C-alpha cells in the first residue's frame, strides 16, 4: 500500500509539473503578443501556487488547469476546442441606431427598397390573381406565404423604422425617441400605414381567399415616392432612373388593362364573341397584346358586339388616349431635363456663331472659338462653374472650394504660414479659365495683375534670344506669377512668355481680389511681402545702386535725376560750390551717403 501511494503521489506531482510548464509557456506566448501588438490585452494572471502548497487531486479527477475559465466561451469541433464568441453577443452588436437621418442614411434607403418591393408585389399581383386563374387550391399556400412576408415588412417599417426618423422642428434636428415617435403618430403617413394593414384577411374564412381583400396593401404609395426621392438624390445619373420609372408606369397601365380585359371576357364568356378572348394560348400574353393595341390606339381590333363590350371599349379608348398622352408628356419632360445642359450649350454656341458670322470674323478665329466651347463643355460639363455655385450659400461655396482647390493653393510657398482663413477667402475668389493649345497665358512686358495655378494640362515658359526657347515646362499643381500679386509701381512686368502646351485648365487669382482680402489680414500682408522679397533674392536677380528690378517689385523705383539738373549741379561744382546750387549738391551727397 505504501508503494502504491508513493507512486500515485509521484504521478500526480509529475502531471502537476507538466501543467505548470504548459501554463508558463502560454504566459510567455501572451507576453510576446503584447510586445508585438500593444493593443492586445489580457487578464491579470493570479500567482501560481507552489507544488507543495497545491492540493492533491483525487485519482481520476480533472485538474483545474484543464478546465476552461467560466468567462471564456468554447465550442467543440471534432477533437479540438475553439474559443468562440456567443451568437447572442453578435446579435447585440448589430443594433439599429436610436435615430435615423432619412436624407443621408443609406441603410434607410436600402430598407425602403424592400418596402417598395413588397408594395410592388401587391400592386402587380393582386389584379393578376383576381382576374386570371393563376391562384389555385394547389398553390394557394405559396401565394399566402409571400403575402404575409410582405405584411411583415410593412409591420417592421411601422414599428422599427418610421418611429426612429429624425425631423426638423423650429430649425432644430429632433433626435429624441419620444418626440420622433409622437411626430410619426401625428403624421398622415401613419394613418395611411395603418389603413394599408387592415386585417381584411379574416374574411377569407367566410368568402374564401379573394385577392381583392388585400387591395388596401396598395395604399402604401408614400413609401414608393419617398424611395424615388432618396434614390434620385444619391444617383449620379438620376435621369436614367426617371426614364425607367416612367416606362414602368406605362407597363403597369397596360398590365391593369390586360387584367380588366380578361375579366370582361370571362364575364361575357370566353370565346362567346369575336371581341372577347377565345381562351387559346397564353392568356396573359394574349390579353396584354390586346391592351397594348387598345391603349396605344393602333387599331385592327374586332368590333364589339354587345352593349357591355361597346361601353368597355369606349372607356378603354378614352383612358388609353389620356394615359398615353400623359406618359408621352412625362417622358418628354424627363428627357428634356436630362439634356437641359446640352441644350443650353448648343444655344450658346449657335448664338456665338451667328454673332461671328454677322461681323465677318475670320474663319481661323471662329474655329478656335468653337474648339474652346467643345473642350470646355466636355471637360467641365458646363461653360461657367460660377453659375452652378451662385445659388448656394457662402458657407457651402467655401466647402466646395476647399475640397477642389485647397490642396493646390496650400502648396504655394508664398502662402505657407499665412492665416488659414485668408487662404479660405482666396479660394472663393479663384476663377477657372481654359486655354487652347499655343494660347499665350501671359506675354513678356505685360503688367502682371494675376497669379496662375495649373489645374490640368501643361504650360511652357519661353525665353532666350529669339523668345521661343522652352526654358521650363510646368505641369498640374504648379504656380506662376505669384510675385506679381504684391508688385507696386511699374516693376511688375512679365519677364517671359508663357504658352499653353495643349489644352490647359488654369485657376486665376487677380491682384485686386488679393488686395481686398489682405485689408482684413495685416499680419499676413507683412508676411507675404517678406516672403516675396526673399524669393526675389533667391532668384539672384541683378541689382545696382539705384535699385534693381528685384527691389522695384516690392517698392516703387525712385525717379532718376533729370540730366539738365545734373548739368547745373556740375556747373555749380566748377564754380566752387558756393551759392544755392552748391549747398543743394552738398545736401544730396550727404543723403546719398546716409543711404
d(CA 276, CA 422): 79
Strand partners, 173: 168
Q: What is Dmax (Cα atoms) for the chain? A: 144
Q: What is the DSSP letter of 299?
A: -
- Sign, CA torsion 369/375/380/381: positive
Tens place of pLDDT for every residue, the chain, 595 residues? 545 555 666 777 777 778 887 887 888 777 766 655 544 444 444 444 444 444 444 444 444 444 444 444 555 544 445 455 555 566 556 677 888 999 888 999 999 999 999 999 999 999 999 999 999 999 999 999 999 999 999 999 999 999 999 998 888 888 999 999 999 999 999 999 999 999 999 999 999 899 999 999 999 999 999 999 999 988 888 888 998 999 999 899 999 999 999 999 999 898 888 899 988 889 999 999 999 888 777 767 888 889 999 999 888 888 888 888 888 888 888 888 878 878 888 888 899 999 999 888 899 888 988 888 888 888 777 777 666 667 778 788 788 878 877 777 777 777 778 888 888 888 888 888 888 888 889 888 888 888 888 888 899 998 877 778 888 999 887 888 877 776 655 557 787 889 998 888 888 888 888 888 888 888 888 888 887 777 766 654 544 444 444 343 433 444 566 665 566 556 555 545 455 656 666 676 766 666 5
Q: How crowded is residue 383: how many other Cβ atoms within 10 Å of its Cβ?
A: 16
CATH code for residues 236-383:
1.10.287
d(CA 383, CA 369): 13
- Go through the chain and tell me how many residues it has: 595
Nearest to 254 by CA among 127, 84, 378, 103: 127
Nearest to 452 by CA among 419, 471, 475: 475
Nearest to 376 by CA among 451, 458, 433, 457: 433
Say if domain 392-540 classifies as CATH 2.60.120.10. yes
Please report, for the chain, how many H helices and E strands are present, in that order: 21, 10
| Contact predicate 291/159, CB 8 Å | no
The SS3 of residue 432 is strand
pTM of the model: 0.62
For the chain, the helix, strand and coil percentages under 3-state DSSP, each to the nearest 5: 60, 10, 30
| Contact predicate 532/414, CB 8 Å | yes
Strand partners, 165: 100
| Contact predicate 129/211, CB 8 Å | yes
The SS3 of residue 192 is helix
Which cell goes with 204? Answer: 377569407
Please write the tens of the pLDDT for every residue from 498-529: 999 888 888 888 888 888 888 888 888 888 88
Q: String of b and e for 139-150 (b: at least 16 CB within 10 Å)?
A: eeeebeeebeeb
pLDDT value for 192 = 94
- Ordered by start, the domain boundaries in the chain are 92-234, 236-383, 392-540
| Contact predicate 190/111, CB 8 Å | no
Amino acid at each position: 500500500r505504501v508503494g502504491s501511494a508513493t507512486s500515485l503521489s509521484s504521478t500526480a506531482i509529475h502531471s502537476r509539473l507538466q501543467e505548470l510548464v504548459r501554463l508558463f509557456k502560454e504566459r510567455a506566448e501572451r507576453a510576446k503578443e503584447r510586445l508585438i501588438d500593444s493593443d492586445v490585452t489580457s487578464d491579470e494572471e493570479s500567482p501560481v501556487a507552489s507544488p507543495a502548497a497545491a492540493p492533491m487531486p483525487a485519482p481520476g479527477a480533472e485538474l483545474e488547469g484543464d478546465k476552461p475559465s467560466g468567462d471564456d466561451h468554447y465550442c467543440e469541433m471534432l477533437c479540438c476546442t475553439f474559443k468562440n464568441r456567443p451568437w447572442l453577443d453578435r446579435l447585440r452588436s448589430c443594433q439599429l441606431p436610436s435615430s435615423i437621418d432619412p436624407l443621408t442614411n443609406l441603410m434607410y434607403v436600402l430598407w425602403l427598397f424592400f418596402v417598395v418591393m413588397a408594395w410592388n408585389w401587391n400592386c402587380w399581383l393582386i389584379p393578376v390573381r383576381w382576374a386570371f386563374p393563376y391562384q389555385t387550391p394547389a398553390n394557394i399556400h405559396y401565394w399566402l406565404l409571400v403575402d404575409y412576408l410582405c405584411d411583415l415588412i410593412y409591420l417592421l417599417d411601422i414599428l422599427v423604422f418610421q418611429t426612429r426618423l429624425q425631423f426638423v422642428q423650429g430649425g432644430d434636428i429632433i433626435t429624441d425617441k419620444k418626440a420622433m415617435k409622437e411626430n410619426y403618430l401625428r403624421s398622415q403617413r401613419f394613418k395611411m400605414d395603418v389603413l394599408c394593414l387592415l386585417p381584411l384577411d379574416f374574411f377569407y374564412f367566410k368568402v374564401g381567399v379573394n385577392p381583392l381583400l388585400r387591395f388596401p396593401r396598395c395604399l402604401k404609395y408614400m413609401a414608393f415616392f419617398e424611395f424615388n426621392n432618396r434614390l434620385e438624390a444619391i444617383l449620379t445619373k438620376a435621369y436614367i432612373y426617371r426614364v425607367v420609372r416612367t416606362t414602368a408606369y406605362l407597363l403597369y397601365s397596360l398590365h391593369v388593362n390586360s387584367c380588366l380585359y380578361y375579366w370582361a371576357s370571362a364575364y361575357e364568356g370566353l370565346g362567346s364573341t369575336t371581341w372577347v378572348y377565345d381562351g387559346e394560348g397564353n392568356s396573359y400574353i394574349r390579353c396584354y397584346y390586346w391592351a397594348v393595341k387598345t391603349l396605344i390606339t393602333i387599331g385592327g381590333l374586332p368590333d364589339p358586339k354587345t352593349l357591355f363590350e361597346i361601353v368597355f371599349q369606349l372607356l378603354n379608348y378614352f383612358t388609353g388616349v389620356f394615359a398615353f398622352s400623359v406618359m408621352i408628356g412625362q417622358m418628354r419632360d424627363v428627357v428634356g431635363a436630362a439634356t437641359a445642359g446640352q441644350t443650353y450649350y448648343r444655344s450658346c454656341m449657335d448664338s456665338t456663331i451667328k454673332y461671328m458670322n454677322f461681323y465677318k470674323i475670320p474663319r481661323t478665329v471662329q474655329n478656335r472659338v468653337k474648339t474652346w466651347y467643345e473642350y470646355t463643355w466636355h471637360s467641365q460639363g458646363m461653360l461657367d462653374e460660377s453659375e452652378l455655385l451662385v445659388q448656394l450659400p457662402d458657407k457651402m461655396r467655401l466647402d466646395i472650394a476647399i475640397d477642389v482647390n485647397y490642396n493646390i493653393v496650400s502648396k504655394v510657398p508664398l502662402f505657407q504660414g499665412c492665416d488659414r482663413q485668408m487662404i479660405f477667402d482666396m479660394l472663393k475668389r479663384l476663377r477657372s479659365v481654359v486655354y487652347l493649345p499655343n494660347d499665350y497665358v501671359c506675354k513678356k512686358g505685360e503688367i502682371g495683375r494675376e497669379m496662375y495655378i495649373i489645374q490640368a494640362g501643361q504650360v511652357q515658359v519661353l525665353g532666350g534670344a529669339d523668345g521661343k526657347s522652352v526654358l521650363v515646362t510646368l505641369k498640374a499643381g504648379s504656380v506662376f506669377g505669384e510675385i506679381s500679386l504684391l508688385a507696386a509701381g511699374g516693376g511688375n512686368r512679365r519677364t517671359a512668355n508663357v504658352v499653353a502646351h495643349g489644352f490647359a485648365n488654369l485657376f486665376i487669382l487677380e491682384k485686386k481680389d488679393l488686395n481686398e482680402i489682405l485689408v482684413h489680414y495685416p499680419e499676413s500682408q507683412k508676411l507675404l511681402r517678406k516672403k516675396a522679397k526673399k524669393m526675389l533674392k533667391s532668384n539672384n536677380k541683378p541689382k545696382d545702386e539705384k535699385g534693381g528690378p528685384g527691389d522695384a517689385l516690392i517698392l516703387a523705383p525712385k525717379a532718376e535725376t533729370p540730366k539738365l539738373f545734373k548739368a547745373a549741379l556740375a556747373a555749380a561744382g566748377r564754380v566752387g560750390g558756393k551759392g544755392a546750387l552748391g549747398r543743394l549738391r552738398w545736401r544730396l551727397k550727404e543723403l546719398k551717403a546716409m543711404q
